């Protein structure tokens, strides 16, 4: 059963507002610097940087994740055919739909979509404190390409 349905521009607008708020929370939890800008402003700037033309930014694709005809999450992916690579900016499932195998099914569907398009490399970033996602990606055969580390210095 197909889980991924392409977003239209109206759905994208709703998604980006939600994404910006969620990304701001993630930045608050995972930024280890003293920065004067709020996390929300940084999230807005980052997303606008990735998507200068919004929904119509070249190579970026957006999908709704459907379960029983209900939107339960989102996928944002960038595909660069010349490099035979794809980067997963986000797979997001609403809280009540997590730990039900949906994420694994979505990732498998994405891999099939990429294989048909002759994409050789599927890349992503995951924050170190996201153990659930780390387990999913490890179980799906993703390998670590690099590790960012930090240490808070006693004042």
| CB-count burial class (<10 Å; 0-12, 13-18, 19+) for 145 | exposed
Residues 35-88 pLDDT 10s? 888 999 999 999 999 999 999 999 999 999 999 999 999 999 999 999 999 999
Domain annotation covers residue 126: yes
Here the CATH number for the domain that contains residue 119 is 3.40.630.30
Helix axis angle for 102-116 and 131-139, nearest 10°, is 50
As given in the structure block, the two tokens for residue 152 are: 């808070």
The more confidently predicted of residues 33 and 72 is 72
**CA-wise closest residue to 42 among 58, 20, 14:** 20
Structural domain boundaries, residue 51: 4-139
Domain annotation covers residue 28: yes
Q: Residue 154: helix, strand or coil by DSSP? A: coil
Residues 87-130 pLDDT 10s? 999 999 999 999 899 999 999 999 999 999 999 999 999 988 88
Domain count, the chain: 1
Domain annotation covers residue 106: yes
5 sits in which H/E element: strand 4-6
Do residues 76 and 87 make contact, with C-beta atoms less than 8 angstroms apart? no
pLDDT on residue 1: 67
Domain annotation covers residue 125: yes
**CA-wise closest residue to 84 among 136, 121, 112:** 121
Domain annotation covers residue 113: yes
pTM of the model: 0.90
**CA-wise closest residue to 75 among 85, 62, 60:** 62
Q: Which residues contact 94 (CB under 8 A, 6 or more apart)?
A: 72, 73
Query: How far is it, in rounded angstroms, from Cα 82 to Cα 128?
Result: 30
pLDDT on residue 139: 93
Domain annotation covers residue 145: no
Domain annotation covers residue 16: yes
Helix axis angle for 39-50 and 9-30, nearest 10°, is 130
pLDDT on residue 79: 97
Domain annotation covers residue 147: no
pLDDT on residue 154: 82
pLDDT on residue 29: 85
């Amino acid at each position: 059963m197909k889980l991924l349905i392409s977003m239209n521009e109206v759905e994208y607008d709703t998604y980006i507002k939600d994404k910006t708020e969620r990304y701001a929370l993630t930045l608050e939890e995972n930024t280890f610097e003293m920065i004067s800008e709020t996390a929300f402003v940084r999230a807005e700037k980052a997303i606008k940087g990735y998507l200068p033309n919004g929904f119509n930014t070249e190579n970026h694709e957006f999908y709704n994740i459907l379960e029983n005809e209900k939107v339960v999450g989102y996928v944002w992916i960038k595909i660069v055919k010349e490099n035979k690579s794809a980067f997963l900016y986000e797979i997001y499932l609403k809280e009540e739909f997590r730990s039900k195998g949906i994420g694994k099914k979505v990732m498998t569907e994405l891999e099939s979509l990429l294989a048909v398009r002759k994409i050789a490399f599927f890349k992503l970033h995951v924050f170190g404190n996201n153990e659930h996602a780390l387990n999913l990606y490890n179980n799906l055969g993703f390998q670590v390409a690099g590790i960012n580390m930090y240490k808070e210095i006693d004042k």
